[in-house]
Every structure is written in structure tokens, then in C-alpha cells.
């Protein structure tokens, strides 16, 4: 199985790459940060790993990457893990920050999905996993735009899922709660890391979803620390 993981240079995306390789999958890992991708490649040193710079917030970047990397046959699975945010109230969030979050979290996932769908439809199989957030379903102050992008992606997935059932394509949304990744400020991570989930644990769960067989699919999954949200 060949999978494409976006946002692969850190956090949950990086952990998914590591776990997928450990389970014998072939991985194409993308990020907008070429230096971090090279470090990832050097660290994992696997012949089953291909790294490629791709800014999912830019539709042309996605299109060029896809044509160069996959040619006529796309990946068996896509994991949308690229995501950014700022922890600010709506009135304090700049338009530049609003645009960046929407383009990466919502449009970036849509662009990636749009690129893989023709091949998956042609093959009559495929899996799309969106790493969303509990922010899609819960009110979290200081995360208005982030929450809007995750809620938008969740609803997009729900419609897409119904449209591609006939093509045997699985669309899965994973909504993690607080996870110890660089999306959080270092001070916050240090203060709450004992209550946060580990990206490696989320990754193990996601790869299990990817490698499952049969016609059963878990469509929307909420993952939270046992102690609940922060």
C-alpha cells in the first residue's frame, strides 16, 4: 500500500509516517518545509519513503507535486494532516492569519482530496483520512477560525462520503483532542503534557484504520485524553 501524508514534517503527520513505515507501507511525505523533510528523510532512512515539498495551501503546488510524483496512478490512501492555527480571539486574529489557516486547513485538504479522487474512482478503491480536531464539534475560545476550518472539513467529508460510496472509497475523519505537538506553544505543552495524548498513539490508531480489511469503515472518530479536553 502506498500512502500520501501531508503535514509530514512534524506532529501527528510525522508520527503517522514513522508508524506506517514500521508497518511495511510505502509513504510519500509532503510538507511546505523542505529542510524539515530532509531531516525526516535522514532520520528514517527508509527506501519505502519518498519526501517532496508541497504547499497544500497552493492549488498549483498540489497539482505540480501530484503530476510529478504519482503520474497516472495515484496513492492507495491520502492522510490530510497539514494544519496550522493561532490561539487568539476572533477580534485579535488578523486577516492574514485568517487566510493562512483557511487555505491550509480547509482548502489544502480539499485540494489534496481533489487530486487523488480521479485515480481512486478509476481503481474503485481508496481511503481518505482527514486529521481533524474536536474543535470541529466543540466550542473552544481562542480558536474561532481553526474551529471553522475543521467544522467545514468535517461537513465536506460527510457529503463527499456519500458521493463516493459507490466507488468503494472510504472517507474517515479523525477528531483528536489535545495532542502534544508543536501546534501548541512550548510553555503550554510543558504545563499540560501529562494530560495530552501522544502523537505516536494517534498515529498507531490511524495506521490501523489504513490497514483494516473488509467492507467495514469507521467514519467519524473522536479521540480524547482520558482526563478530557484541556
The span from the CA of 51 to the CA of 53, in Å, is 7
Q: Which of 66, 111, 146, 156 is catalytic?
A: 146
Which residues lie closer than 8 Å to 15 by C-beta, 6 or more apart? 199, 200, 202, 203
Let me know if 111 is a catalytic residue. Answer: no
The span from the CA of 199 to the CA of 185, in Å, is 16
* φ/ψ (deg, to 5) at 49: -115, 130
Classify residue 198 by its DSSP letter: P
Please say whether the dihedral angle defined by the alpha carbons of residues 184, 187, 190 and 191, taken in this order, is positive or negative: negative
Instruction: Give yes or no for a contact between 200 and 23, defined as CB atoms under 8 angstroms apart.
Output: no
Residue found under cell 505540480: 64
Burial class (CB in 10 A: 0-12, 13-18, 19+), 36: middle
Classify residue 90 by its DSSP letter: G
Instruction: Count H helices and E strands in the chain, helices first.
Output: 8, 7
Q: Which active-site residues does the annotation give?
A: 146
Amino acid at each position: 500500500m502506498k500512502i500520501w501524508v501531508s503535514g509530514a514534517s512534524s506532529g501527528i503527520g510525522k508520527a503517522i509516517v514513522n508508524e506506517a513505515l514500521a508497518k511495511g507501507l510505502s509513504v510519500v511525505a509532503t510538507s511546505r518545509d523542505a529542510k524539515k523533510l530532509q531531516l525526516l528523510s535522514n532520520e528514517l532512512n527508509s527506501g519505502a519513503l519518498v519526501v517532496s515539498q508541497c504547499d497544500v495551501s497552493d492549488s498549483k503546488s498540489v497539482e505540480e507535486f501530484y503530476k510529478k510524483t504519482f503520474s497516472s496512478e495515484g496513492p492507495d490512501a491520502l492522510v490530510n494532516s497539514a494544519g496550522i492555527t493561532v490561539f487568539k480571539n476572533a477580534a485579535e486574529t488578523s486577516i492574514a492569519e485568517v487566510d493562512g489557516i483557511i487555505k491550509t486547513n480547509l482548502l489544502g485538504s480539499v485540494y489534496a482530496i481533489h487530486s487523488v479522487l480521479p485515480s481512486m474512482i478509476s481503481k474503485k478503491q481508496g481511503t481518505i483520512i482527514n486529521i481533524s480536531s474536536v474543535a470541529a464539534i466543540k466550542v473552544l475560545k481562542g480558536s474561532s477560525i481553526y474551529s471553522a476550518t475543521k467544522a467545514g472539513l468535517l461537513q465536506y467529508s460527510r457529503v463527499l462520503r456519500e458521493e463516493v460510496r459507490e466507488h468503494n472509497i472510504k472517507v474517515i475523519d479523525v477528531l483528536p483532542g489535545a495532542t502534544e505537538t508543536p501546534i501548541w506553544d512550548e510553555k503550554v505543552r510543558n504545563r499540560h503534557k501529562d494530560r495530552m495524548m501522544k502523537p505516536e498513539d494517534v498515529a498507531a490508531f490511524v495506521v490501523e484504520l489504513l490497514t483494516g480489511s473488509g467492507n467495514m469503515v469507521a467514519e467519524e472518530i473522536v479521540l480524547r485524553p482520558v482526563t478530557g479536553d484541556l
